[in-house]
Amino acid sequence: MPDELDPYRGKRRFADTPEPEPGTKPQRRRTPEPAAARFVIQEHSATSWHFDLRLEHGGVAVSFALPRGLPLDPRTNRKAVHTEDHPLEYLEFAGTIPRGNYGAGEMSVYDHGTYTTEKWKPREIIVTLRGERVAARYALFQAGDDDRDWIIHRMDEPAPADPFPDHVQPMLATLSRLPENAERDYAFEVKWDGMRALAFSEPGRLRLESRTQRDITQSFPELQRLQRQLGARRAVLDGEIVALTDDGRPSFQLLQSRMNLTGRGQVARAAQRQPVTYMIFDVLYLDDRSTTALPYTERRQMLEQLGLEGPAWKVPAALEGRGADVLEASRRVGLEGIIAKRTGSTYHPGQRGREWLKIKNVLRQEFVIGGFTTGTGRRSETIGALLVGVNDDRGLRYAGKVGTGFTDAGLDMLMERLRPLVQPASPFVHGSPPRAATFVRPELVCECSFSEWTAQGLLRQPAFLGLRDDKPAADVVREEPAE
């Protein structure tokens, strides 16, 4: 008879891999052990993540690869791939299989223990596993003529668990000033200027959803390896996908080049050109339990204990009781602002309350009014947005539309001031104002707040603050922060 471990030996170069080399004595199958035998479940991060289930039987470790892990309840069957028998020493193996070797990647022990055999036939096995993490009764049965093609099925009911959610609407923050009790009741995080995203991670699968519950998984392939770090843990994470500049600041303009792409090749090229980072700041589900009813401090501790740090994801710091310092630091480096989270707050999906506050670093300066667009709805008879600009050495440069911050009385006043200045030609020497606009002589100056300048020289999130009659239009230029 051939040695049953010959296939195992044939796939490995033991001078290059730390995997155990079996002895030279041939291993023969025996009848199933009457007493409880050993088993191990290993996490294997190879070409793709999977579990390896190994059962001590007949002097070898009978092995199955589980691409999606173990089924958690009897209503779900999962694929099992019957692989070559392994030596019994493999029941205790953990380590890194070097690149270039069969099964290259990280191998770690997820669970181990003993099992009892209810049935062991060539095409069907029924066992009860008793491990530190897994205690369940499973059936493995061959699904076709190919000996590799098996199915694993859980036969007993699991302990009560919270259902893994299909969707979660993210909790929202309310715009505010720094709270008075900031030093006592809040933790502070950076407000990331990107795309809100929730990550749903199950064994072998990661799904990303936008704030509107749109599946964006295929748009950000560099985030898929996050699932490998989570491994067998089922988790729902909350965070922000950002594109970072060379100096490490988030840029919404850079992120726009990654949004709404569909073709696989197009996405792959964009990922190479402009990679993203997933800034993870909350965990909403972990290990069969919803965590939304836990206070922020407990959720934060659970998140940090996951140790999520990778090439395209990280858990940024949260500082308790140092709101003024964090806000000032964010202002100095040009970030959008910070989020203040009440330390005792629970997570309220889809709600915007006072337990999360967003405090922004808002810029403000004067702009020249060069025209306006007509509004819609109740503002259809008046101004919809002002077209504003700044002077440079070539003339008036278009800086964007300002459509918020007005009162009804203010709109009436602006129409009275602007109507006599209407002219047919655009006063903007460069830039691209909308064609369907009413242009005016560039004489009036207004002050606006905004979050930042885009790379195209346009305002982001501008708001009208009022007219400035005390400054000539010719003196209005783009203000740059001092060194």
Active-site choice (25, 79, 121, 191):
191
Cα separation, 332 vs 330, whole angstroms: 6
Beta carbons within 8 Å of 135's beta carbon, 6+ residues apart: 129
Beta carbons within 8 Å of 250's beta carbon, 6+ residues apart: 192, 193, 194, 242, 243, 244, 335, 336
- Residue 269's nearest CA partner among 205, 216, 221, 197 is 221
User: Taking the CB of residue 209, how many other CB atoms lie within 10 A of it?
Assistant: 21
Beta carbons within 8 Å of 363's beta carbon, 6+ residues apart: 449, 450, 451, 452
Residue 358: active-site member: no
Mapped onto helix, strand or coil, the DSSP state of residue 117 is strand
**Residue 240, strand partner residues:** 196, 279
Cα separation, 151 vs 141, whole angstroms: 5
Please give the structure tokens belonging to residue 303.
């998140």
Cα separation, 446 vs 468, whole angstroms: 5
User: Taking the CB of residue 328, how many other CB atoms lie within 10 A of it?
Assistant: 12
Q: Distances from the Cα of 443 to the Cαs of 239, 367, 373, 393, 477, in angstroms? A: 45, 10, 17, 18, 14
- Residue 53's nearest CA partner among 153, 143, 144, 157 is 153
Q: Distances from the Cα of 149 to the Cαs of 83, 126, 205, 210, in angstroms? A: 10, 16, 21, 37
Beta carbons within 8 Å of 481's beta carbon, 6+ residues apart: none
What are the catalytic residues? Answer: 191
